[in-house]
């Protein structure tokens, strides 16, 4: 959605390592914002974004207008059941319907051999993989590890909203998740204890916790007692007016 940073360029680099040509799309998708969310304020830096992509060696950038993606009379929604009922889907009504619809359109418009998505939006990555399988879209979906600042904060376009004080607090989210991962790697039976402690730690640090959960890495099924298979710790928090999300694999 633009406002590019090195996390986006990591997707470009991953694609360049495996593909002959790399294409990027920039589209601030209105259908994935709820009425009370930050569509109007979402950072837009088209000229800077194009310069970054050009310098990175991207062959083509697709920047459609809203009317090109959603022409008059547009009446179709793509919904992925199950995977979208939890985590961010439980707190952002309609968000993943908007994501699934626009990604389906972009993939069909461009028909790439492969498409690259960051693991910071891990739930989104699973949703895209599911819709591609279910709709038989001939594209390989590749996940790229989260890119972080030196202090651990996951890169995000919304980090620009943070005040200097909030920016000093923000790395505490990744630290809390890493502590949970370390604790559960040592004691897989401590899910309830560590998620409760993690929530308390985040609140004490100044975050308003939206969710902090352990879920299976492949299905997003909730893990409430013992980690017995690949899993991740997921969190969404608010710091001032900024919503931050992050996730880290366990084990």
| Residue with the two structure tokens 């992509």 | 53
pLDDT at 251: 79
Q: Round to whole Å and give the CA distance between 118 and 8.
A: 8
The pLDDT of residue 34 is 85
Report domain extents, the chain: 6-144, 157-250
What local confidence, expressed as pLDDT, does residue 36 receive? 82
Contact between 210 and 238 (Cβ < 8 Å)? yes
User: What is the rounded distance in angstroms from the CA atom of residue 59 to the CA atom of residue 42?
Assistant: 26
Instruction: Band the pLDDT of 241: cuts 50, 70, 90.
Output: very high
pTM of the entire predicted model: 0.95
pLDDT of 226 above 90: yes
Mean pLDDT of 62-89: 97
Q: What is the pLDDT of residues 130-149, one digit of tens each?
A: 999 999 999 999 999 999 99
Residue 108: which H helix or E strand, with range? helix 95-110
Give tens-digit pLDDT for 15-69: 999 999 999 999 999 999 988 888 988 889 999 999 999 999 999 999 999 999 9
Strand 231-239 versus strand 208-216 pairing type: antiparallel
Q: 6-144: CATH homologous superfamily?
A: HUPs (3.40.50.620)
CATH number for the region 157-250 comes to: 3.30.1300.10
Q: So what's the pLDDT on residue 68? A: 95
Arithmetic mean of pLDDT, 206-213? 98
Q: Does 157-250 match 6-144 at the fold level? A: no
> In sequence order, what are the residues at sequence separation of 6 or more whose Cβ sits closer than 8 angstroms to the Cβ of residue 36?
none
- Residues involved in catalysis: 8
């Amino acid at each position: 959605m633009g406002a590019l940073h090195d996390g986006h360029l990591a997707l470009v680099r991953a694609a360049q390592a495996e593909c002959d040509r790399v294409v990027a799309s920039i589209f601030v998708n209105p259908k994935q914002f709820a009425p009370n969310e930050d569509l109007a304020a979402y950072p837009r830096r088209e000229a800077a974004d194009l310069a970054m992509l050009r310098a990175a060696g991207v062959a083509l950038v697709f920047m459609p207008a809203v009317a090109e993606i959603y022409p008059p009379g547009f009446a179709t929604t793509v919904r992925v059941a199950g995977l979208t009922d939890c985590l961010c889907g439980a707190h952002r009504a309609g968000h993943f319907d908007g994501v699934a619809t626009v990604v389906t359109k972009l993939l069909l418009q461009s028909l790439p051999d492969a498409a690259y998505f960051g693991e910071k939006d891990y739930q989104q990555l699973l949703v895209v993989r599911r819709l591609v399988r279910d709709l038989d879209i001939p594209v390989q979906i590749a996940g790229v590890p989260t890119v972080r600042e030196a202090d651990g904060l996951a890169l995000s376009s919304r980090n620009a909203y943070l005040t200097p004080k909030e920016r000093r607090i923000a790395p505490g989210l990744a630290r809390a998740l890493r502590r949970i991962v370390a604790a559960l790697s040592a004691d897989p039976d401590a899910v309830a204890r560590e998620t409760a402690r993690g929530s308390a730690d985040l609140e004490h640090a100044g975050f308003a916790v939206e969710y902090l959960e352990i879920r299976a890495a492949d299905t997003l099924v909730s893990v409430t007692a013992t980690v017995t298979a690949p899993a991740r710790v997921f969190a969404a928090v608010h710091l001032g007016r900024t919503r931050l999300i992050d996730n880290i694999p366990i084990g």
